Structure 1
Amino acid sequence: MTTLNQVLQNPNMTVEELTNTLNERFQGDYDRLKAIADYVKTETETQFLTIMEMTDGKLVEKTYEMTSREMILMFADKAMEGNLLLVGTNNAFCFVGNPPAWFAYPEGVSDVEFLYVLNRMESWVMLLQAYLLTEDEKYALKVKQELLDWIEQNPRPALTTNNFSGGEGVAAPWRSLEAGIRMFKTWPSVLQYLAGTGLLTADIVEPYTISVYEHLEVLYEISPQYYPNADHNHYIMESLGLYAASVNLPELKDSQTVKEFAKLQLERCASIQITDAGGHLEGCPHYHNETMYYFYFAEMTAKRDGDQMSADYQALLDKAVSYTFHTLRPNGRNVPWGDSDASDSFPVRMGVYAYEAYNDPTCLEGIKSLTGETAVKKLALEYIWDMTDLTGFMDYLGKPAEAAISLPTSSFQKDEGTRDLKQICFRTDWTTQAYSVFFACRVPIYDTHQHIDPMGFDFMALGKPLIVDPGRFTYNGNEQEVTPVNGEKISGNFRKIFKQASSHNTLTVDNKDPFTYKDSWTYSYPSEEAYIGWINDLCDGQVLAADAEQHNFLPVIHKRLIAFVDNLYLLIVDKVEHLETDSKVQIYYNRDTERENLKITNGEITDSSDDVRVAFGATGNLESELTDGYVSDAMDVLRESVIVKYQDTETSENRYFGTVIVPYQATEAAPVISDVEVQSNGTVTYQKAGEDVEGEEIRISFSVNNESYQFSWITGKELTRI
């Protein structure tokens, strides 16, 4: 059994001396946090919390409007009873034990992520905030009880690589990721919130310190073996945990060596994981904003230690802000591409920590310009507990944005090799009413956080997400029962459903996905690289277009064009070549609206949504039908949507399809889309990168409200109006 003198640099230091040292060291944190708590008591700004609650034997959606203080106390009081809101519980509070059963699933829960998140102890922070807000020691004593119980119930396994990896939960609660998160996000709060109160006592300081040292051994010796290339978001969190703990407890043996190593790893992570175009290596907007928060937190940790990260490190973070902006929908929520949520809070959190780390308001200014300062303030209140200048920060939050986002309205996330995200974002302007498209074709994928639907896209216009990427919903690869928002209980393998192509805005051949889903984290796919390109910004911005090509259906090849026309219409053209005579192509569009709002009458799709509607027009070789779809704005939250599915009626080897999508207000007459035609006009040869390239000219024509449009698409080169 490890003893305190075995983990300290000075083995003669007593637990009483260490306790006094920690109380003195963190007294300033307590004073700062107490001032923040006093401010939160007076803050009247409200925000909405939507959760599922059991009513008359069924889960129903409930929305609460609360101040920040009220929300903290609600979560803290639930935690006092042993009820937590965790992954895998259908966005409902779930009894986890009191104290928690750290390695057990409650009835009806099968998601291993539940165990992982439970062992991050995120409820501790709100319990300790509740302690400062109420001065009721019961909240702090609950944290002390759980800390001691966790340490007693979960002795650290032997330091071998098979004891700390994910797998099927075998490593929970000692998975290396949770070890890292505990060390920078939750366990330091015990020191910060209790210093000088008489509650940071020797009875917890001794086991706490020994356990922190055991955490550092995992993060120093095991984590680098999992991520030798520093190329995964987990390694950022694990290195950050290593860094924060060695800064917070310099009394630990080898803490200086560990600290220097951790800082170096964080620098490595930034240089490897932030691409030349500014995006995060994994290509998921959610994880981009998440990892930038960690990188900013690392700078804050360095400052706490009287140090700083390198200038190159800061330059990389500065570059990453543009990706955050380009991957925001015009409503201020990030596109839920890959394993992402349609989150408004994560971009704001990134901005809050950029402000604290570098006094840089760029990110917050941009989001303010889209959603307004009040909306940003509501979201930022959750994160003010890490601010060192509360008065200055709140004064800044209350001011309108000084200027709109000044970036170009298009972005091509291009790099070399595995760092090439193959993503294109374009929008008509930087207002909330803009038309915006996120379009991607990353083959092969980098890791399994990404989508497996090449040439999918996300489209928003007139302030509403319309043709959407569905998001992630869950990491649980098992069959499960879930209750959609305002719906009846349904069952299925929702990880698979949300990953398959038919949930996305792309196509299949003979109902086969371009990737084969095997399980939650395993897919098979061809290794041949796909192409995506930004082909033009013509006619003073009135025609914005990109095209792509992927070979996942070999010998079948799929080419796609996506374009804005006159800042009013979305045009999608697909060429599918080398098909067998009896093969059929299916094209899918995930319309974010309730099922009863879409109908097919005499072959025409009609939309009766209350606010913004969508008109569809397609080439005559496509037959339409409507099927059930799903959308998830946040983990564990599922809404029903409608899949507009087109199936081709041809038998030719090479087939050409076109879809015209026109958004319009419900108060307006439905636009009439007619005469949509797409046909080949033969091959052409052109120069690209100094070499002759053979492309194809594809002629496109359609009419909207009797106004005709004609275009020439030379694949891989350009789109021109004729």
Structure 2
Amino acid sequence: MNGRRPHRTFCVIEHLHRNRAVADEVVEGRFSIQGRTLELGVEPRWLGATLPADREWRLEWSKFYYGLDLADAGAATGDPKYLRVWQRLVDGWIGQVPVDLDPTDVAARRVSNWVYAWSRFAETFGALCDADGFSDRLSLSICRQLSYVITHLTRERNHRTLELYALFSVALALPWLDPANRLLDFSIDALHRNLLDDVLADGVQRERSTHYHHVVLRSFVGLRENARRFGLSLPDGFDARLARACDFSMHCHRPDGFIPALSDSDTGSYLDLLRLAGSLLNRADWTYVGTRGVAGQPPQQRHAAFPIGGYFVQRSGWGDRTRSLADERYLIFDCGEIGDGGHGHYDALNVEIAAGGRPLVVDPGRYTYCDDPPHWRRWFKGTHAHNTVTVDGLDQTPYRRGKPKFGVARARLLHRLTGSGLDILWGEAVSPAYDVVHQRRVLFVAEEYWLIEDSLHSNNAHQYELRFHLTPESNDAVCVGRSAGGCAVHTRGTVFVFDGDPSISLEAGWIAEQYGIKEAAPVVVATMTGRADARFLTLVMPTDVAAAPEFRVADGGDTWTVEVGGGDTRAWRDRVMWTRTGEALPLRGFNEPAAAAWTRSSPAGDLLVQSIATVVDVWKDAGIERPACNEEVAL
């Protein structure tokens, strides 16, 4: 190689791997991955070591992310021990492991991480990287692994994105391997096609996983930044679809700066991507959210619709009015198709809620991909592990390993109604596992609290269970009692009030913010048994006030009227009204028929707010053309 050194390319994950403690552990031969630490040495038995049963540990170990921590530690200290340990680990892998042992996406990430670490070490230590022919061995192994990846490219979804981005990164960093730019041109072209194929027209990645959405978004933003740095042109239409994906990222982030862990996801923050994308595409709103309001301009939209991906967001604001950015109210509603591939959870009509700087009602995440006993994979995918309703304890979609093969649950948005201080999402789910039709209305009132109505209809009696999964911080902080309007459940930062006579209980649940690490967390369960038709109506109010809010429900036949009294000093009384069918009907106190409306009065009875909610076209709201025939979203 005659001392050739890789070009320093932009690494979109480098800032996540500047952990000196990780580097020093690896120097001692210890590897901490997915909550498990193993002492394997710096010349480990790559094929014979005793490892956890979950194969994901070995795969993650084999991706060499810790090489970036070693390279950063070497740059910070100038100590060549970090380089020597990395070289021993890489040489050990090259000498022991067949190139085609791992899936192609794992090989791709390993190659990318080797190139990133190599370029950083070369900047710091120069010729030391070439000692004893190491660079030649490394370059040859990269060539062989790339050949394996190219020959066995995954056809679609996030694995293909990661593989193509590895080809792009290597072609850019090691130009002597691609002197005619064939690999570079191919990877750019293929990544553009992959972006258009896998990121839906509304911006949601087709697997409908918030985690994998951001995994691929890293690659596309990384491509855009490296194209800028190296003066490369990207195909027409690339920026437009990338912008859609960034819009979803912006809206799905909670006010605390983290994403909900929906459909095989970990939680995490990707605000760094929004900051970078904002600078690349001159988007002041992404910059604002990415910098937590320090720079840029607040987004114009508070509520957002992604009707193809099936996600709908309600938000009180962006820290630009009466609340700080972190304190805003937020809800995301899952009301669409199950995710493409094997990452879909059985979570139709699931919600996640945040307020006051913290998540309140959460999706438990993924925890593991291992299907072996005690079957945690099945628990985390199941309907009971989500904030929706189970019927007779069944999953909405019958469980099987991998992606569903036969019937799957179907969800669709029936209507969205919006007015001043009132936003309503109304969705429906049907399942191949039972004859029940589940409809859910999510009413966001006064940008302060939610009413969640679950209506279940069947010709046969069933047991219905409504669940709300709380955070681990709520352990030992949940109190079940009575209020004037029904059963009340108090927990940290929230009160739930249930109308009528459901049986209320607490059960043990789990939250996995990161793969392989789970924490116990309480689950609030409301149960109705022996009914064909059933209805849950739940008030979810973010508050630290000890007293439950006033909550009264009146059945008007064709309409429902809910009265809520609240505020820290009981300074207001709300009346929220809506029709059962969604058609406009006369509502008390309004001169014109409406499908939904609300009023707010003072304790003295003075009218403070009066507003009607009207149907909005979510396709127009999302800025995309409605498909000629769409069975999943009917508006």
Instruction: Pick the TM interval, shorter chain.
Output: 0.7 to 0.9
1:567-622 Cα distance to aligned partner (Å, 9 max, x none): 232111111111413x111111112243321133468444253xx2x222223241
Q: For residues 277-356 of structure 1, what are the structure 2 equivalents within 5 Å?
A: 277-303=202-228, 305-344=230-269, 347-351=270-274, 353-354=276-277
Is the Cα contact below 8 Å between 1:458 and 1:469 reproduced in 2? yes
CA distances 1:418-440 after superposition (whole Å, capped 9, x unpaired) = xx211101111113222111001
Task: Output the amino acid matched with 2:538.
Answer: T
TM-score of the pair, normalised by structure 2: 0.82
The 5 A counterparts of 1:317-466 are 317-344=242-269, 347-351=270-274, 353-354=276-277, 363-370=286-293, 400-403=294-297, 405-414=298-307, 420-430=308-318, 431-466=325-360
* Structure 2 stretches lacking a partner, 5+ long: 319-324, 585-594, 599-635
Deviation track 1:659-696 (CA, whole Å, cap 9, x = no partner) reads 1112212xx34223443456752xxxxxxxxxxxxxxx
* CA positional deviation for 1:407: 2.9
Aligned equivalents of 1:448, 1:326: Cα separation in 2: 25
* Cα shift at 1:628: 0.9
Which amino acid letter does the alignment assign opposite residue 19 of structure 1? N
Query: Shift of the alpha carbon at 1:528?
Result: 6.7
Alignment of 1:582-601 (within 5 A): 583-592=462-471, 593-601=473-481
Distance 1:565 1:311 in 2: 42
Q: Is the 8 A contact 1:516 1:524 kept in 2?
A: no
Give, in angstroms, the shift of residue 550 of structure 1. 1.1
Which amino acid is the alignment partner of residue 531 of structure 1? R
Whole-angstrom distance in 2 between the partners of 1:471 and 1:339: 6
One-letter amino acid of the counterpart of residue 540, structure 2: I
Greater helix share, structure number: 1
Distance 1:505 1:242 in 2: 40
Find out whether 1:645 has 2:525 as its counterpart: yes
Indicate the residue corresponding to 1:266 in structure 2: 191
Q: Which residue of 2 aligns with 1:59?
A: none
Residue 307 of structure 1 aligns to a residue in which SS?
A: coil
Q: Confirm or deny: 8 A CA contact 1:550 1:557 kept in the other structure.
A: yes
Query: Partner of 1:560 in structure 2?
Result: 440
2:90 alignment counterpart:
147
Describe the shift of the 1:464–1:703 C-alpha distance in structure 2 as closer, same or farther (beyond 3 A): same
Residues 64 and 113 in structure 2, CA contact (< 8 A), matched pair in contact too: no
**Could you say which residue in structure 2 is the equivalent of 1:3?**
none
CA distance in 1, matches of 2:312, 2:194: 24
Is 2:127 aligned against 1:198? yes
Letter in 2 for 1:176: T
User: Any idea what SS the aligned residue of 1:446 has?
Assistant: coil
Quote the Cα distance in structure 2 between the aligned partners of 1:586 and 1:631.
19
Equivalent pair of 1:547/1:715 in contact (CA under 8 Å): no
Aligned letter for 2:395? D
Alpha-carbon spacing, 1:523–1:406, altered in 2? closer, same or farther (3 Å):
same
Give the superposition deviation at 1:357: 5.7
2:516 to 636, 643, 668: 636
Q: Distance in 2 between matches of 1:186 and 1:528?
A: 42
SS class of match (2:468): strand
Q: CA offset at residue 354 of structure 1?
A: 2.9
Measured in 2, the distance between the counterparts of 1:236 and 1:517 equals: 28
Aligned 8 A contact 2:423 2:445 in 1: yes
Q: Which residue of 1 aligns with 2:597?
A: 721
1:714 Cα deviation from its structure 2 partner: 4.4
Shift in Å at residue 527 of structure 1? 4.6
Deviation per CA, 1:605-650, whole angstroms, max 9, x where unpaired?
44253xx2x2222232411111111222222332222111111145
Give the match for residue 72 of structure 2. Answer: 129
Matched, 1:675 2:536: no
> 1:714–1:607: structure 2 CA closer, same or farther, 3 Å change rule?
closer
In 2, Cα distance between equivalents of 1:336 and 1:438: 11
Q: Distance in 1 between matches of 2:548 and 2:481?
A: 15
Q: Measure the CA separation in 1 of the matches of 2:423 and 2:467.
A: 22
**AA partner of residue 428 (structure 2):** E
Contact 1:19 1:205 in 2 (8 A): no
Query: Which residue of 2 is the match for residue 73 of structure 1?
Result: 20
- The sequence identity of aligned pairs, in percent, is 20
Cα RMSD after superposing both structures: 2.9
Q: Look up the equivalent residue of 1:80 and give its one-letter code.
A: V
**Cα shift at 1:352:** 5.2
Q: Tell me how far 1:463 sits from its aligned partner.
A: 1.9
The unaligned stretches of length 5 or more in structure 1 are 1-17, 41-67, 158-170, 371-399, 415-419, 480-491, 682-697
Amino acid at match of 1:469: D
Q: CA deviation at 1:321?
A: 2.0
Following superposition, the deviation at residue 273 of structure 1 comes to 1.8
Provide the residue aligned with 1:535 in structure 2.
416
CA distance in 2, matches of 1:443, 1:322: 20
For residue 505 of structure 2, the aligned residue among 617, 622, 625 is 625
**TM value normalised by structure 1:** 0.73
Shift of 1:508: 0.8
Quote the offset at 1:252 in angstroms: 3.0
> How far apart, in 2, do the equivalents of 1:513 and 1:678 lie?
31
Structure 2 letter corresponding to 1:512:
L
How far, CA to CA, are the matches of 2:218 and 2:99 in structure 1? 29
- The structure 2 residue matched to 1:118, chosen from 51, 61, 64, is 61
Query: Are the aligned partners of 2:553 and 2:560 in contact in 1 as well (CA < 8 Å)?
Result: no
Matched, 1:659 2:527: no
Q: Secondary structure at the match of 1:251?
A: helix
1:526 matched to which residue of 2?
Answer: 407
User: What letter corresponds to residue 300 of structure 2 in structure 1?
Assistant: L
Q: Kindly tell me: are residues 278 and 657 of structure 1, through their superposed partners in 2, closer, same or farther at Cα, counting changes over 3 Å?
A: same
Contact 2:206 2:339 (C-alpha < 8 Å) held by counterparts: no
Question: How many aligned positions are there?
Answer: 568
Give distance in 2, aligned partners of 1:708 and 1:262.
57
SS in 1 for 2:142: helix
Q: Kindly provide the amino acid, as one letter, of the partner of residue 177 in structure 1.
A: D
* Cα distance, 1:179 vs structure 2: 1.6
Deviation for aligned residue 1:364 = 3.8
Is the 8 Å Cα contact of residues 455 and 533 (structure 2) preserved in structure 1?
yes
